Chains A and B, each alone.
Chain A
Amino acid sequence: MNLTLRIWRQAGPDTPGSMTTYQVGGISPDMSFLEMLDTLNEELILRGDAPVAFDHDCREGICGACGMVINGRAHGPERTTTCQLHMRHFEDGDTIDVEPWRAAAFPVVKDLVVDRSAFDRIIGAGGYITAPTGSAPDAHATPVPKEAADTAFEHAECIGCGACVAACPNGSAMLFTSAKVVHLNVLPQGGPERASRVMNMVEAMDAEGFGGCTNTGECATACPKGIPLPSIAAMNREYLRSSLRGGR
């Protein structure tokens, strides 16, 4: 496959960037999107140009490191992570636009790399359970209802890739935050910190400069892990419940 790529190039956080056009050939339809970028980068290095910077780690769709907006869609046309997107979903001769996540809370570091540490700070505000650590407890020490376990697992699938923020016209982190809040708040282990968790995490989310939710549903459409839109409703319910009861 021969492709024309229009890629956002930006040398650093404070330098202006622009879309730059590249031609890349010899692409196999079985390559992942990242392998295609690797091919381009090898050519760029041989030419003495700076390679395109992008985040990646596990390359098996579970770490959430890779992420770029491909033809206006977070992670591209398939509902998966960029590393699991294969070139067979494109046609020979296609022009593909590749851009970084766009959000005020995710400043561009270089090219396609953005700083997602705002997510870490939201997690730090309550996305965990304060519990004595040590040896693993017995599996049935705390009974968990099946429905709660399923809901928790569905939300625990969030890998924090940031596609929800990138897809949202308001740069909102509601789906990410709701995945983290709901995951722990439905479990008995998360119960004691149920109120403080949602209040502190929403406060941290607002403080990072993410936008609000206008229920466009773009986030849930883009999510590679299928976190559902009603999760946001569940977090809203937790938030209102906590604040009406005096909070935290």
Chain B
Amino acid sequence: MTTVPTVDAMTTASRTARHPSTLATLWRSTVGKKAVMAVSGLAMLLYLVAHMLGNLKVFFGPDDINGYAAWLRTIGQPFLGHEWFLWIARVGLLAAVVLHGVAAFQLSRRDLAARPSKYAHQRRRASYATRTMRWGGVILALFIVWHILDLTTLTVNPAAEHGRPYQNIVASFGNWYSCVIYIVAMLAVGLHVRHGFWSAAQTLGANNARRDRLLKLTANGLALLLTAGFLSVPVAVMTGVVK
């Protein structure tokens, strides 16, 4: 009766004696850590959609987008003070970026350790978007730093006019390197979202055989929409549509 010990282990495994908290259990397991990545990723994706739509206001002229930027600072008033909403959003986004990055780093290290020796016969695996998630993520993290220095703190912005994003955008995309950095980063966003959105649905258990195709189509649509929307601004500045 070799099965008896395992059955005993199962029936007595109520784990009532010591029960780690739900969050600790999630963070310690690969499945749970992926769920953290999925939730933080979806939060950032939601922000990106809003950000992209807001950017399109640049096509309605300086007053429109500058007014929009000023309005963002008044959200929640008088319950919240001036710029409070913006700071709450920034703290939330920072938390999402940090959680996403730390989880990705820890999971990647684990994944690489789980496959220490390569096959002698190499062949192409998975799609480009899937294979570039890790380095694409690093590129995006570096871009976020550059982007904040360029258009939030205005440290590296050629115009650096506070409260006048239209002028800052036009000045920034007047530099070729600024355009190159932005375009590369937005292509990386598209690729990251293309795999990331579907992957998040899979990780959170929202996928099934019937929904798989729809989720992949949504991921592609979102990726395309975000990349096209974001890229329209530097392209408009470079072609002189926005000046």
A contact residues around B220 at 8 Å (CB):
none
Q: A233-B206, A234-B205 are in contact. Are A215 and B115 (CB under 8 A)?
A: no
| A side interface size, CB within 8 A | 58
Determine whether B232 belongs to the interface, using a CB cutoff of 8 Å to chain A.
no
* Residues of B120-175 contacting chain A, CB below 8 A: 120-123, 125-126, 130, 133
Contact status A240-B205, CB under 8 Å:
yes
Determine whether B14 belongs to the interface, using a CB cutoff of 8 Å to chain A.
yes
Q: Which residue of A lies closest to B3 (CB)?
A: A128
| B side interface size, CB within 8 A | 51
Contact status A237-B31, CB under 8 Å:
no
Determine whether B63 belongs to the interface, using a CB cutoff of 8 Å to chain A.
no
Contact status B111-A172, CB under 8 Å:
yes
B contact residues around A236 at 8 Å (CB):
31, 34-35, 202-205
Q: A99-B119, A103-B114, A169-B125 are in contact. Are A212 and B205 (CB under 8 A)?
A: no
B contact residues around A171 at 8 Å (CB):
111, 114-115
Contact status A102-B35, CB under 8 Å:
no
Q: A202-B29, A213-B34 are in contact. Are A104 and B115 (CB under 8 A)?
A: yes
Number of A-B contacts (CB under 8 A): 158
A contact residues around B201 at 8 Å (CB):
233
Q: Which of B19, B195, B205, B209 has the most CB of A within 10 A?
A: B205
Chain A 179-209 near chain B by CB (<8 Å), digits 1 or 0: 0000000000000010010011011011001
Which segment of A43-51, A65-73, A80-88 sits at the interface?
Answer: A65-73
Chain B 84-126 near chain A by CB (<8 Å), digits 1 or 0: 0000000000000000000000010011111111111111011
Contact status B14-A248, CB under 8 Å:
yes
User: How near does chain B come to A125, taking the closest CB pair, in angstroms?
Assistant: 9
Q: A212-B111, A237-B205 are in contact. Are A248 and B22 (CB under 8 A)?
A: no
Bound CA span A247–B25, Å = 9
Contact status A169-B115, CB under 8 Å:
yes
Contact status A215-B199, CB under 8 Å:
yes
User: How near does chain A come to B219, taking the closest CB pair, in angstroms?
Assistant: 11
Determine whether B208 belongs to the interface, using a CB cutoff of 8 Å to chain A.
yes
Contact status A243-B22, CB under 8 Å:
yes
Contact status B114-A170, CB under 8 Å:
yes
Chain A 74-107 near chain B by CB (<8 Å), digits 1 or 0: 0000000000000000000000010100111100
Contact status A130-B32, CB under 8 Å:
no
Determine whether A136 belongs to the interface, using a CB cutoff of 8 Å to chain B.
no
User: How near does chain B come to A194, taking the closest CB pair, in angstroms?
Assistant: 13
Contact status B113-A232, CB under 8 Å:
no
A214 partner, pick from B6, B25, B130, B209, beta carbons under 8 A: B130
Contact status A215-B120, CB under 8 Å:
no
A172 partner, pick from B6, B114, B206, beta carbons under 8 A: B114
Bound CA span A126–B7, Å = 9
Contact status B121-A69, CB under 8 Å:
yes
* Residues of A103-126 contacting chain B, CB below 8 A: 103-105, 124, 126
B contact residues around A239 at 8 Å (CB):
29, 31-32, 205
User: How near does chain B come to A187, taking the closest CB pair, in angstroms?
Assistant: 16
B contact residues around A248 at 8 Å (CB):
13-15
Bound CA span A183–B120, Å = 35
Contact status B202-A215, CB under 8 Å:
yes
Contact status B31-A202, CB under 8 Å:
yes
Determine whether A216 belongs to the interface, using a CB cutoff of 8 Å to chain B.
yes
* Residues of B21-59 contacting chain A, CB below 8 A: 22, 25-26, 28-35
Contacts A97-B120, A211-B110, A233-B203 known; list 4 others, CB within 8 Å: A73-B123, A233-B205, A243-B26, A248-B14
**11 sample A-B contacts, Cβ–Cβ < 8 Å, listed by A number:** A69-B119, A99-B120, A103-B115, A169-B115, A193-B10, A196-B13, A199-B25, A212-B107, A212-B111, A236-B34, A248-B13
